[in-house]
Structure 1
Amino acid sequence: MQSIKADELPENPRVRANPLSALLLCFTIPIFFKGRKKTLDERDLYKALNEHKSETLGIKLNAAWEEEIAKKRLKNKEPNLLLAVIRVFGLQFLALGLLLFSLEIGLRVTQPLFLGGLVNYYANPTNKDDKYTAYIYAMGVILCNAINVLFRHPYMLGIQHIGMKVRLAMCNLIYRKALRLNRTALGGTTTGQVVNLISNDVGRLDTSIMHIHVLWVGPIEIAVVAVLMYREIGVASLFGVAAMLLFIPLQAFLGKMTSKLRLRTALRTDERVRMMNEIVSGIQVIKMYAWEKPFGKMIQFVRRKEMRAIRNVNYIRGILQSFALYMTRVSVFVSLVGYVLLGNFLTAEKAFVITAFYSILRNTMVVAFPNGIQQISETLVSMKRIKDYLLYKEIGDNSRISANGCNKTKKSDDLNGNVKLTNQLTPKRAQEEAGIEIRDLKARWDPTAVEYTLNNVNLNVKPRTLVAVIGPVGSGKSSLIQAILGELSAESGSIAVHGTYSYASQEPWLFTGTIRQNILFGLPMDRHRYRTVVKKCALERDFELLPHGDKTIVGERGASLSGGQKARISLARAVYRKADVYLLDDPLSAVDTHVGRHLFDQCMRGFLRDEIVLLVTHQLQFLEHADLIVIMDKGKISAVGTYESMRSSGLDFANLLTAPEESSKHDDDSDAEVKGKLSQIIMNRHNSTVSMNSMHESIADSLNDEEVDSLLQVQGKREINSEEASIADDEAADTPQQVQEKREMGKIGWGLYKKYFGVSGGDMLFFLTAFFFVGAPIFGSTG
């Protein structure tokens, strides 16, 4: 949950800024005045521009990437992610490159010519009478600087905007891919890898394209400058240019080494993040067995490996940056010394002009060019890692093949947000009644495995049918549901699902938000259906005992819920969604027997009686009420039929299917015992746990009206209005806000700085680094 919604923010001032304000960045001045008066926070932000929204950029890049895949698939080649990025952002990037070319060649290169004329005016006494020439030269120097500054900052802003757009589009593309990965691809992908892709690889795209244009502008500029210097000092100019060009192969070699080390660093970062995620997930077990020190040493070992690779990259980066300190001075020295040795007289005009030309080349070829080589190397490595992730197999990549030929399914979204599967060969079947048809299905999670996860599965489910799927652990019950969902691709056979479906997973999950938001899951609020679903899923009493009812925040920073409560909320989320087929993967395993009876009778047999319900369960006592029973074993359907036919058959499952009678008898005895004590328990319900109260509420729902009335009279006729007490309406208390991170404002004392530099290597290393920072330019200038 966000404390501030994007729609509540004020309009971005860039939208209404005139061209001059946009060029001079005057529309940003008010935020500086506001920041001078107060500390800026989230409420001082503006709405994002439409061209900067992740949705808009993601749609464009996704379309270009899909087009690139389709083209290369026809040519049987591997797609190139960089080409897709160029197709979307290439024109804007090229326009900025032409602007940089104009600034470098048209303004910066001509500025030393005006400077040389100005110096020549003061150095030659015969030019004193011609003042207008001096004014022209001075005006040329000033205008070159002014126009360069005027357009240089918008250029840098545009480059950073393109980097930001590429980053946002890449994040959107990775997110879309994560939602479409099949189970096989998910098995080969770790959370740490995805986190590293978004935080490191994608994060580098912001700054990695800042100096790429210099890679083609720099050689052109050095050629133009060499020609102009040749006009000034002749052949001696080539000496300094040659000395500068000799370093380019070394820079290219170091850039190539940087790309290799960058890839090695990314792999080690993936390993560290994966290990940290596993440790955080199992921190309770680690604390219980006092394994903190061994795991701490493991983390230190992995971190040292990562730091070793990062340190090597920084060594190369330091070497490349050191070129900026002495390469220009060496080139100027070689050119001027060569000019004098060739028998020429060195004047102030020549010295100033040559030094100015080399200063231009210093920024382009010595500072920006090595950075461009390093950044393009890191960008290519990041692009390759992202491309490898985007090429993982998705849901529905493999075709479903029927006995008569190819029988692919087509996906489309309906108005309710569900995914609808219809047959392409017979589109009229989409108008028929809901149903599930599985014919000769063979599927497996691991393509290299010998045995099939599902082998020769045949199943036909008609409308308004409650199907109970049972079998031992590992028999393929959940895999059958995953195959119907499309998560498990069929190698042969066909799966046809007519109508929309809703799914409740075996492991319940909640996202950070209110319980109501977890149940609605983005759908519009239908109060009648919502109240009915809450009642049928036995959540009314839980809402009464929670501090804010269904507006209680759950998740990482919210209230802690029991496993049964999470299971019922996940079931309510699936049931609230209107669908033709409900796939429920063992939702009764996390609840007690009585709550399970309430969920089965009231929800699955009652509320969903007009729909198809495919229920995976181990609760054998409910089988006699199922319309169809499917028994699975080792990936095959060993028996299909009604409860009576199964019971009268001579299969090995006959003993298994007689167990529900004993369980039902035990349930009846338990119900009778609990009914006798229910009134006393309800009187002390404030001292009871949430899960116990949910159980008692479900028992009360299973009683008839007279028994409920008598129990309510025993407790003082305390009526429970499910529509008012269990549902927090808009007129009730305000929705609680998520606990925000604390933030303190003030000044940072010197003690914190001392501690920071102390941790970074100690006082000795700090003073040694400061000495090099200060001493290097001093010695370079005096030398």
Structure 2
Amino acid sequence: MILLMPVQFLFGKLFSRLRRKTAVLTDKRVKVMNEIISGIRIIKLYCWEKPFGRLVENLRRLIVGVLTSVPTSVPTSVLPVYLPVYLPVYLPMYLPVYLPVYLPVYLPVYLPVYLPVHLPVYLPVYLPVYLPVYLPMYLPVYLPVYLPVYLPVYLPVYLPVYLPVHLPVYLPVYLPVYLPVYLPVYLPVYLPVYLPVYLPVYLPVYLPVYLPVYLPIQEVKQLRRTRRVQACVMGSFFATAQMSIFLFVLTYVLTDQEDKIRPGSVFMVIGLVQCLRLTCGRFVSSASQHLAETLVVIERIQVFRLLEDLKKVTAQHPENGNARHSHSGDEEELKTGCCVELTNLTAKWDGDNAVSNTLEDITLKVRPGCLLAVIGPVGSGKTSLLMSILGELPIQSGSVRAQGKIAYVSQHPWIFSGSLRQNILFGQSFEKARYDKIIRICALSHDLSILPNGDLTLIGDRGVTLSGGQRARVSLARALYMDADIYLLDDPLAAVDTAVGKHIFDKCIMRYLRNKPRILVTHQVHLLPVADNIVILTDGKILSQGTYMELSKSGVDFSELLKVAEEDTVEKDRQSMLSLCDQAHYIRPRADTNVSAKSSGEENVPYSVHLPEEEERETGRIDLNVLISYFKAGAGIVRFILLVLFLLLAQIFLVTSDWWLARWTNEIEDRHDAIETHDPDFTHCNATTDGNVLTTGRMVIPEVDTYFNLHVYTGILVAVFVCTLTRAFMFFKLAVTAGGNLHNMMFARILRATMAFFDMNPV
């Protein structure tokens, strides 16, 4: 039992290594699936369900046909380069030198063996497997991706036939003729042209296509390896007790002390083995497996914890390449009332890997009651400026200081699955007066009146049941209800129509938030005259800064910006029409459309809307239909019958081993009882042994056939070991197959689901 501990430990170590590889592949697959589900609307719009479904399957499946998903849009520019260079060099050398030797020597020797021996084995494998996979890719993708298609598809099919049948004839005949003729021509003529032309042309096409497809070893392959290790552990665990008892019996037999194999001693050994069985067998391997799972979790946490902390970026002086990001200022700044200050800020998204800075030499101040308008063309760094204040953009030099709580209204509103009221409150306590006031300020009163359940209407996790303007106003209402000290508004008026935008700007930004420092990113130039300060960004730099009058006098041309505003107006009108169409979906006869009635009373007012329910866990027996579906997904009827057969055989042999050992020890015990009953002083009397018969006094006692019992017991234990391992392998094979099939089935159904499913269920 103790000797088996290192074996179990090795199995656990192997499981740990495989589990780490599996975790990497699983993370990659889950990431791809999350991206697919998050972008399911675009995927369905362009009917890309099948290509993306195959992409996920390629990350899981083990079959060689994974490379059939290589896109046929591989650059074929290699063909005009490869053919003019390869054919003029190779054909003049091949035809006059190779064929005169090949035809008269190779064909007469090879064909008589090939036709009667090779083809009957080769064709049944080649035609149904090789041709359907290889020929569709041969013509368009043969030269650029020859190796990544040839190696994984051709070799697994051809080598099992090639090695045992082809090589015994090929090597003694082909090599003595081929090598002396071909190599002297090949090495000096072909390689000098092949290497400088073939490699620079082929590898740039080969590596980008081959490596991304072939190197990520499929998740299922790693899962199967892991399950094989688990099968070995489980199979050896069930056979450990019998093997330990067998070693105990074998020790007595080899030392000629078989008379000591008595029921009492065997029972004591069985008791000790059963006590140590879990500790030295199961628990050692389980500890290794759980340690592997723990290490995987620790590695993931470590990767997350070692990410750069973007909110505490270092020192203040630009000349030393460092920066500081802080949300607390000194006493002098508190006295001046400066809430947001950026000094010589330089930042970029990709850190040291970026070619150019996202923001460069940005200096500005925003005090309480000040409205700073940030304008500029698309990609000028307006959103990045807000991200730097939030601490999301890595700072290369300069400093960012912000005092107080910050509320950020994103250009792309985030809505979680829940009621509209829950999206606005965002975990804060419900205050009716403040809540109703914010609803009116954000122009949501009319929207609540036409929703089926007012502010208790269930909306999707991304707000897909609302129009773009409604989502923007819900996001703005959430920021207002937060009652922050600083407001960062990333173009919140872009998704609303002109009338609603004017209402929000006047009632919310200019009146409700008049005492707050506000940074408004906008494309609407007609709002600039009322701004306290204007910053014009271009390519991450401040082109101009000042009031509207100062910028106008300095010669800043707003005409180009007005064009953008006009385009924005057209877009807002389109959004308005879409908003009306979306709202028409919700209009129903209502007895009461008063908003205050929908949001009246206390927070715990009962309502009948069906909000998302927590997932329930059922306990008890698993339904038989579930088990049947699982086994159908994991194995056919034949494999299932074989699994049941080996389960029964393993248990039968386990019971038989105990029965045979009991029979053997009982024979020895009966023999000793008979001897002691006939002659208590047997140890001092004269006795003779003839073959398998012991003669003492007047009684003849048969001798126990030790080696016969040992051979039978050994055979039974071998059967136990084989059956337990086989059933473990078959069970884990079934589990992996069932998991893969069920995964593919569920994922395929998710891809085929309607958009209503994704609208009503959190992603």
TM-score (norm 2): 0.58
CA, structure 1 residues 692+636, in 2 after alignment: closer, same or farther (shift >3 Å)?
farther
Cross-structure match for 1:362: 277
CA distance in 2, matches of 1:663, 1:766: 66
Note if 1:422 corresponds to 2:179.
Answer: no
CA distance in 2, matches of 1:508, 1:580: 20
Note if 1:273 corresponds to 2:179.
Answer: no
> 747-756 or 327-336: which moved more?
747-756
SS at 1:724's partner residue? helix
> Among residues 437, 443, 446, which one is paired with 2:347 in the alignment?
443
Cross-structure match for 1:322: 235
Cross-structure match for 1:533: 438
Map 1:57-456 → 2, pairs under 5 A: 244-304=1-61, 305-344=218-257, 345-346=259-260, 347-402=262-317, 408=324, 421-423=327-329, 426-427=330-331, 429-430=333-334, 433-447=337-351, 448-456=353-361
Q: Which amino acid aligns with 2:343?
A: R
* 1:520-567 Cα distance to aligned partner (Å, 9 max, x none): 222233333322221111111111111222222222499811110000
SS at 1:594's partner residue? helix
CA distance in 2, matches of 1:385, 1:733: 43
SS at 1:368's partner residue? helix
> 621-630 or 275-284: which moved more?
275-284
Note if 1:759 corresponds to 2:627.
Answer: no
> 599-608 or 372-381: which moved more?
372-381
On the 8 A contact 2:450/2:583 being kept in 1, the answer is: no
Highest RCO, 1 vs 2 (Cα 8 Å, sep ≥ 6): 2
CA distance in 1, matches of 2:443, 2:224: 58
Q: How far 1:768 sits from its partner (Å)?
A: 1.0
Note if 1:724 corresponds to 2:481.
Answer: no
SS at 1:758's partner residue? helix
Note if 1:503 corresponds to 2:377.
Answer: no
CA, structure 1 residues 747+443, in 2 after alignment: closer, same or farther (shift >3 Å)?
closer
**Larger Rg belongs to:** 2
On the 8 A contact 1:540/1:726 being kept in 2, the answer is: no
> 543-552 or 294-303: which moved more?
294-303
SS at 2:383's partner residue? helix
Q: How far 1:582 sits from its partner (Å)?
A: 1.0
Q: How far 1:273 sits from its partner (Å)?
A: 1.4
* 1:334-355 Cα distance to aligned partner (Å, 9 max, x none): 2233234434441333222223
SS at 1:502's partner residue? strand
On the 8 A contact 1:465/1:627 being kept in 2, the answer is: yes
CA distance in 1, matches of 2:554, 2:55: 58
CA, structure 1 residues 351+271, in 2 after alignment: closer, same or farther (shift >3 Å)?
same
On the 8 A contact 1:464/1:609 being kept in 2, the answer is: yes
Note if 1:737 corresponds to 2:642.
Answer: no
Cross-structure match for 2:698: none
Matched length: 485
CA distance in 1, matches of 2:307, 2:425: 31
Q: Unpaired segments of 5 or more residues in structure 2? A: 62-217, 587-591, 657-715, 717-763
On the 8 A contact 1:646/1:654 being kept in 2, the answer is: no
SS at 1:509's partner residue? coil
Q: Which amino acid aligns with 2:225?
A: N
* 1:113-168 Cα distance to aligned partner (Å, 9 max, x none): xxxxxxxxxxxxxxxxxxxxxxxxxxxxxxxxxxxxxxxxxxxxxxxxxxxxxxxx
On the 8 A contact 1:444/1:453 being kept in 2, the answer is: yes
On the 8 A contact 2:411/2:492 being kept in 1, the answer is: yes
> Among residues 633, 640, 643, which one is paired with 2:538 in the alignment?
633
CA distance in 2, matches of 1:279, 1:539: 33
SS at 2:392's partner residue? coil
Q: Which amino acid aligns with 1:771?
A: L
Q: How far 1:776 sits from its partner (Å)?
A: 1.3
Q: Which amino acid aligns with 1:778?
A: I
CA distance in 1, matches of 2:461, 2:389: 31
> 578-587 or 343-352: which moved more?
343-352
Q: Which amino acid aligns with 2:32?
A: M
On the 8 A contact 1:434/1:462 being kept in 2, the answer is: yes
Cross-structure match for 2:510: 605
TM-score (norm 1): 0.57
CA, structure 1 residues 380+658, in 2 after alignment: closer, same or farther (shift >3 Å)?
closer
CA distance in 2, matches of 1:311, 1:657: 61
Cross-structure match for 1:478: 383
CA distance in 1, matches of 2:624, 2:481: 57
CA, structure 1 residues 348+247, in 2 after alignment: closer, same or farther (shift >3 Å)?
closer
Identity percentage over the alignment?
Answer: 38
CA distance in 2, matches of 1:619, 1:252: 69
On the 8 A contact 2:323/2:395 being kept in 1, the answer is: no
On the 8 A contact 1:622/1:660 being kept in 2, the answer is: no
CA distance in 2, matches of 1:620, 1:643: 10
CA distance in 2, matches of 1:583, 1:548: 31
CA distance in 2, matches of 1:559, 1:545: 17
CA, structure 1 residues 559+404, in 2 after alignment: closer, same or farther (shift >3 Å)?
closer
Cross-structure match for 1:585: 490
CA, structure 1 residues 647+317, in 2 after alignment: closer, same or farther (shift >3 Å)?
same
Q: Unpaired segments of 5 or more residues in structure 1? A: 1-243, 411-420, 675-680, 682-686, 695-719
Note if 1:781 corresponds to 2:655.
Answer: yes
* 1:240-276 Cα distance to aligned partner (Å, 9 max, x none): xxxx444333333322221121112112211221222
Note if 1:492 corresponds to 2:409.
Answer: no
